[in-house]
Amino acid sequence: MRQFYLEKLLSQEGRNIYGSNEKQYYEDLQDLYNDIIGDMKDVESKYEDVLDDIIDAYDELADRMEFRNEQLEYELNFLEHQRDMIELIHGDESYDMFGIVNQAQVEGTLQKVNEAKLQYDY
């Protein structure tokens, strides 16, 4: 709408509407200019808001990824602790129990690797 109005004002037909009242013509042009600048500032502000929201979303995602990595690390440390406890209680020949813990450690490590690949791809 403003573009049409601007084009109309700048055309010879628009100038003719004002006749000899150039002062009003230039005041209307100034008002239109100020409105357009205001609209541009509004668009710039909205753009900055959207950009800030995107950055906040990436930060939130990074925090969640870090939290998930910490959880996996905690689980792997817990399994290592369990392995140490089994060895203390049952000795280093508790192969069945070690097998269970080792399998859980392997699965946890694979899960951590897979999540790291997903994070890298993202």
pTM: 0.57
The pLDDT tens digits of the residues spanning 40-76 come to 999 999 999 999 999 999 999 889 888 988 988 898 8
Q: Band the pLDDT of 13: cuts 50, 70, 90.
A: confident
Query: Looking at per-residue confidence, does 99 or 51 come out higher?
Result: 51
Residue 110, number of CB atoms within 10 A of its CB? 10
Question: Backbone phi, then psi, for 67, in 5-degree steps?
Answer: -60, -45
Spatial contact of 39 and 2, defined as CB atoms under 8 Å apart: yes
- First vs last Cα of the chain: how many Å apart? 42
Query: Looking at per-residue confidence, does 20 or 9 come out higher?
Result: 20
Mean pLDDT in residue range 6-34? 80
- What contacts 101, CB < 8 A, 6 or more positions away? 79, 82, 83, 86
Please give the residue range of the domain that contains residue 64: 2-121
pLDDT value, residue 2 = 67
Provide the domain count of the chain: 1
Residue 69 CB-density burial (10 A; 0-12 exposed, 13-18 middle, 19+ buried): middle
